[in-house]
């Protein structure tokens, strides 16, 4: 049972139930709320000056800001929004979706993951299986009693405008190409691919040219983000070591699966040099994101958990020192992403879901 809570996500698979008694505080971006009246902030969460719940049902995650901080793109499988599995949705930074549906800007076909704005604020990139299937692909969650993620070889990376029109395909290799994010400098994309036979990190130019392999050690290297100055990458990795672990990893990968229950964070230069392990905490450490200062990282972890949960947000210096717990929930907090101006943090959480399994988006006003 040590890894139980990870069942709540599969790049974004969680679950749900609305809490109609504890109301989210409606707060516009730029508005301050009295902490004592903000029921969504736990007393120990001193870095949150205010917080606003954005979605109210379904599984919502990976909300990423436009370069001008005016909009966010996120993925959701909310059945009330007429989708069967994760699709991409657009929102203004001050919107809340309790009684309305955001515009969908993916095709509505197949399954999508990991959208990110391009520097022009008029286009996004995201991975999708829609070229191979109109329907949602099967999503296995367990194999031989272990929690797993599917690594669909039908994923490719596309550019779309904010009306949902695909304007370019950036990858066209056999195998998994997904998890793209964009450098704050606006010049590079980092993504995960199986084109080498393993799950490695690659970078490419914004137009898809000049593809370069960044990592080359056995293990699932994924969920990478650039530092604010574009000089470094932070990512998660499974890195099997023993003969048994290596065999299990390779056998699962041959079936298009990974077991993401033992992951640590790694950091390297944007060209792959100076690679080093940042955490050595045990269990699952993932969804890292640099603070605007560039010298600290936020991430999600269950390393303090005995039964696989809760997952909370933690902060650590880029030299591995000064580990600090940021959120204090009893279930799941993950996918922390700072606005480009550093004032707000978007993240996903099971808080205020009535004890169900809905995972909703929240935007917190950050204070050091």
Residue 38 banded pLDDT, cuts 50, 70, 90: low
At 290-337, the pLDDT tens digits run 999 999 999 999 999 987 889 999 999 999 999 999 999 999 999 999
At 120-161, the pLDDT tens digits run 999 999 999 999 999 999 988 888 778 899 999 999 999 999
Model pLDDT, residue 40: 93
Model pLDDT, residue 11: 37
At 239-298, the pLDDT tens digits run 999 999 999 999 999 999 999 999 999 999 999 999 999 999 999 999 999 999 999 999
Rounded distance, CA 184 to CA 225, Å?
Answer: 10
Model pLDDT, residue 19: 31
Q: Does residue 7 register a pLDDT over 70? A: no
Model pLDDT, residue 185: 96
Q: Does residue 169 register a pLDDT over 50? A: yes
The answer to whether 335 and 299 have CB atoms below 8 angstroms apart is: no
Average pLDDT score over residue span 82-106: 96
Query: Per the structure, how many domains does the chain have?
Result: 1
Rounded distance, CA 258 to CA 315, Å?
Answer: 26
Q: Does residue 14 register a pLDDT over 80? A: no
| Residue 323's CATH number | 2.120.10.30
Model pLDDT, residue 141: 81
Model pLDDT, residue 146: 82
Q: Does residue 82 register a pLDDT over 50? A: yes
Our CA angle for 195, 202, 332, nearest 5°, is 100
The answer to whether 74 and 95 have CB atoms below 8 angstroms apart is: no
Q: Does residue 26 register a pLDDT over 80? A: no
Which pTM does this prediction carry? 0.89
Model pLDDT, residue 27: 32
Model pLDDT, residue 300: 98
Rounded distance, CA 72 to CA 97, Å?
Answer: 13
Count of beta carbons in the 10 Å neighbourhood of residue 256: 18
Q: Which structural domain, as residue segments, surrounds residue 236? A: 4-366
At 181-217, the pLDDT tens digits run 999 999 999 999 999 999 999 999 999 999 999 999 9
- Report the chain's mean pLDDT, rounded to a whole number: 90
């Amino acid at each position: 049972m040590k890894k139980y809570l990870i069942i709540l996500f599969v790049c974004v698979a969680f679950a749900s139930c609305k809490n109609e008694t504890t109301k989210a505080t409606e707060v516009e971006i730029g508005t301050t709320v009295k902490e004592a009246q903000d029921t969504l902030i736990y007393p120990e969460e001193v870095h949150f000056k205010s917080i606003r719940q954005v979605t109210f049902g379904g599984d919502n995650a990976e909300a990423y800001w436009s370069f001008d901080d005016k909009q966010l793109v996120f993925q959701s499988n909310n059945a009330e929004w007429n989708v069967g599995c994760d699709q991409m949705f657009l929102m203004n930074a001050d919107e809340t979706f309790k009684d309305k549906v955001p515009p969908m800007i993916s095709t509505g076909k197949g399954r999508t993951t990991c959208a990110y704005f391009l520097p022009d604020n008029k286009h996004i990139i995201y991975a999708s299986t829609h070229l191979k299937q109109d329907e949602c692909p099967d999503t296995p969650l367990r194999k031989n009693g272990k929690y797993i993620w599917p690594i669909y070889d039908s994923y490719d990376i596309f550019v779309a405008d904010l009306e949902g029109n695909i304007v370019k395909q950036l990858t066209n290799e056999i195998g998994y190409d997904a998890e793209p994010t964009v450098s704050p400098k606006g010049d590079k994309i980092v993504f995960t691919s199986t084109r080498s036979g393993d799950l490695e990190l690659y970078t490419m130019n914004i137009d898809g040219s000049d593809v370069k392999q960044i990592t080359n050690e056995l293990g699932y290297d994924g969920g990478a983000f650039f530092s604010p100055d574009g000089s470094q990458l932070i990512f998660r990795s499974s890195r099997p070591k023993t003969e048994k672990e290596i065999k299990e990893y390779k056998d699962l990968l041959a079936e298009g699966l990974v077991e993401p229950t033992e992951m640590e964070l790694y950091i390297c230069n944007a060209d792959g040099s100076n690679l080093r392990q940042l955490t050595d905490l045990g269990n699952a450490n993932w969804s890292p994101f640099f603070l605007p200062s560039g010298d600290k990282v936020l991430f999600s972890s269950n390393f303090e958990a005995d039964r696989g949960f809760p997952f909370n947000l933690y902060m650590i210096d880029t030299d591995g020192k000064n580990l600090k717990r940021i959120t204090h929930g009893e279930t799941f907090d993950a996918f922390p992403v700072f606005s480009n101006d550093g004032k707000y943090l978007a993240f996903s959480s099971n808080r205020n879901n009535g004890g169900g399994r809905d995972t909703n988006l929240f935007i917190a006003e950050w204070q050091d």
